C-alpha cells in the first residue's frame, strides 16, 4: 500500500485550496457534495486527519466518520424523500478507490431507479448548490 499523499483533492478541500459545497463539519469530519454524483443528493464524508483509506485510518477517526455518515444518511433520506440510502467506501485501485483520502459515499436511493454510471461528468454547480441547500436544511431540523 502506498503512503498518504497530502496533495490529493480532498486534502486540498480541507485546506481551503479547492472549493466544495459543504454540508456538515465538526472537529473530526467534513461532508460535502460529490461533484460527479451517481444520483441526486450524492455526498461524501471524509476525516480531517490524513488517512489513505480504511486500511490505515486510526480507529477514533474512523468512528467519527461513521457517526457523520449516519447523520448524512438520515439527512439525505429526509431531504429527497428517498426510499433508501446506499453507503459505499472503496479501498486501493483494485477496490475501486480513485481519490486516496478515506471517503464514504452517501447516496439517496429510490425504488426502481438505478444509480447513474460513474462517467467522470461533473454536475452543474447550480444543481449541486440546490441539492446542498436541501441537505443542510434537513440537517438543521
In the block, cell 459515499 appears at 105
Q: Could you give the residue numbers annotated as active site?
A: 103
| Residue 117 to residue 139: CA distance in whole angstroms | 27
Q: How many helices and strands, by DSSP H and E, does the chain display?
A: 3, 5
Closest CA to 45 of 107, 128, 104: 104
- Which secondary structure element, helix H or strand E, spans residue 125, and what is its range? helix 125-140
DSSP 8-state code for residue 84: E
Amino acid at each position: 500500500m502506498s503512503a498518504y499523499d497530502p496533495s490529493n483533492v480532498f486534502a486540498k478541500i480541507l485546506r481551503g485550496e479547492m472549493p466544495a459545497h459543504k454540508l456538515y463539519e465538526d472537529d473530526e469530519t467534513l461532508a460535502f457534495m460529490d461533484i460527479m454524483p451517481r444520483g441526486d443528493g450524492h455526498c461524501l464524508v471524509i476525516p480531517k486527519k490524513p488517512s489513505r483509506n480504511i486500511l490505515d485510518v486510526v480507529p477514533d477517526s474512523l468512528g467519527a466518520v461513521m457517526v457523520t455518515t449516519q447523520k448524512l444518511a438520515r439527512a439525505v433520506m429526509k431531504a429527497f424523500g428517498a426510499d433508501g440510502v446506499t453507503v459505499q467506501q472503496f479501498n486501493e485501485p483494485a477496490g475501486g478507490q480513485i481519490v486516496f483520502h478515506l471517503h464514504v459515499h452517501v447516496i439517496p436511493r429510490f425504488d426502481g431507479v438505478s444509480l447513474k454510471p460513474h462517467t467522470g461528468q461533473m454536475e452543474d454547480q447550480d444543481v449541486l448548490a440546490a441539492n446542498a441547500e436541501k441537505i443542510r436544511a434537513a440537517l438543521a431540523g
